Chains A and B, each alone.
Chain A
Amino acid sequence: MNPAQLYSQPAPYLIVAAFLLAIGIFGLIRRRTLIGMLISGELIFAAASLNFMALNHFTAPDKSVGQIAVLFIMGIAAAEVAIALSIIIAVYRNYRSIVSKELNQLKG
């Protein structure tokens, strides 16, 4: 395998996607504020997009399906960020904190 042709192999893309997924899960466990957890979730979305694109480019007969799926992922991610940030702002108004350990009350 010629190292200059590394970009025409599926493995580097998939390994980068696995790294993004792993570091997103790591951040989701380690982060203590809600916005940090949201950013880690975005990394997981990015890993999913890269997987879709790589497998679409290398194994799918129809090359436009994966690109459309990634477009939909981006739309969903944008909607999710808007909703999550508004929830975070509402939580901050009520608690004066977005540290996940201090959000320990339910209003029932």
Chain B
Amino acid sequence: MNTFPFSDWIVAAIFVLCIAVTVTGALIAAFTKRIIRSVSGLAVCCLGLAGLFYFLNSPFLALMEILIYIGAVCVTVVFGIMLTEPDEPAPENFKRPFPVISPLISLAIGGAVFVGIAWLSFKQAWTAPATVTNDGSIESIGKALLTTYSVPFELISLVLLVAILGALVIARSGRTKE
């Protein structure tokens, strides 16, 4: 079946690489001090996530992840960074009230969420469906978007339009006041 030698191990290595890129990007996004590095970490994380989507038989969503998250969301956040002063304040003029116990508490909350959900998803025996009615190709996505999900599809374009108009109004209102 496999014509290329070790091809399944190469695929497994690419899969582990995608997971490593996702996890590393998330760690960069959450732990760096400067916000511009955090946005770069989010972009790296979305790149790894696109790889995981590709492994889940959805190249369309992988492309959309790169296009929307890296191309739109991260670039928009970078513009927001350029217009504001987003870096974390220096520690000497911004004292935390509990400098030792508060990172431990937030680590404990994050760790509890991770361990709990990971244990649940590892313990659960996920059963494959008995019958597959749809293979999830791009053609079937397009048909479903124009028939079954046509109303949400139109509504989300309306939501985007209203969001753009609202963003313009909100960002402009401060300027006329001064």
Contact = CB atoms under 8 A, between A and B. Distances in A.
B73 A26 contact: no
Contact of A61 (B129, B141, B166): B129
Interface residues of A, number: 81
Interface of B, helix, strand, loop or mixed by DSSP: helix
Given A30-B30, A33-B87, A64-B136, A59 B126 contact: yes
Given A42-B42, A43-B42, A85-B80, A61 B86 contact: no
B83 interface: yes
Contact of B8 (A5, A13, A70): A5
Nearest to A3: B12
B3 interface: no
Contacts of A63: 57, 132, 134-136, 140
A16 B29 CA distance: 15
Contacts of B132: 61, 63
Contacts of B65: 49, 74
Interface string B72-88: 11001101110111111
B99 interface: no
Contacts of B173: 90
A6 B56 contact: no
Most B C-beta atoms less than 10 A away, residue of A14, A89, A101: A89
A90 B171 contact: yes
A103 interface: no
A27 B80 contact: no
Given A81-B76, A86-B171, A46 B45 contact: yes
30 contacts: A6-B15, A7-B11, A11-B121, A18-B113, A20-B22, A20-B45, A26-B106, A29-B109, A35-B35, A40-B29, A43-B30, A46-B45, A53-B56, A55-B126, A56-B136, A57-B58, A59-B126, A59-B129, A62-B136, A64-B141, A74-B69, A76-B159, A78-B68, A78-B163, A82-B167, A85-B77, A86-B166, A89-B80, A92-B84, A99-B88
Interface of A: 3-7, 10-27, 29-36, 38-40, 42-43, 46, 49-50, 53-65, 67-68, 70-72, 74-83, 85-90, 92-94, 96-99, 101
